[in-house]
Amino acid sequence: MPSKIIKDGVIVDDQWLLLPQDTTDIPEGPIIVPLSLWESKKDILAGREALGVWLDSDEPPEHIASALENFDLVAINFPVFVDGRGFSYGRDLREKYHYQGEVRAIGEFIRDQLFFLQRCGFNAYALSGAELESALDTFKDFSDSYQAAIDQPEPYFRRH
């Protein structure tokens, strides 16, 4: 049964299967593979329909920079919610590597981080253990921001 995630500001069914770190068998259907599996099975995986990859917090996007056209989705794992490396990875994916596909937060992040994640280029959130409907409200915590980021490339001082 598909689970629910937040994507582009609405709650949707999730079709993707997230493969854990030690996976060796590759199932049918839309899958999100760990970086290690991508690196070891590139030949089999490349060109596959509906392919995603996930990066752990010590796996910066430069590992997949040259292969991004293979992925409909890049997921970034937050092993603990206070590990903030993923925020920079999101920005790097969008700004440095100009990735246009889905950038999904997975793992232990919490709803209070959604506003910042969105600003850093994430557009999908596999948020566990929270009421998704009320979590949507947190995107509206702040009406605007001082800094330039992915959602607003112009800083406040250039807009006012």
Q: Is residue 88 a contact residue for another protein (CB under 8 A)?
A: yes
Nearer to another protein, 31 or 149 (CB): 149
**Is residue 87 at the binding interface for another protein, with CB under 8 A as the rule?**
yes
The arrangement of strands across the sheet holding 102-107 comes to 10-14, 3-7, 124-125, 102-107, 73-78, 51-55, 31-34, 17-18
82 binds another protein (CB under 8 A): yes
- Of 71 and 87, the one with the shorter C-beta distance to another protein is 87
Minimum distance, C-beta of residue 45 to another protein, in the bound complex (Å) = 26
Query: What are the structure tokens assigned to 120, written together?
Result: 């850093």
Residue 85 touches another protein, criterion: CB under 8 A: yes
Name the minimum Å distance from CB 159 to another protein. Answer: 10
Q: Does 132 bind another protein (CB under 8 A)?
A: no
Interface mask toward another protein for 36-75; x: CB under 8 A: ------------------------x---------------
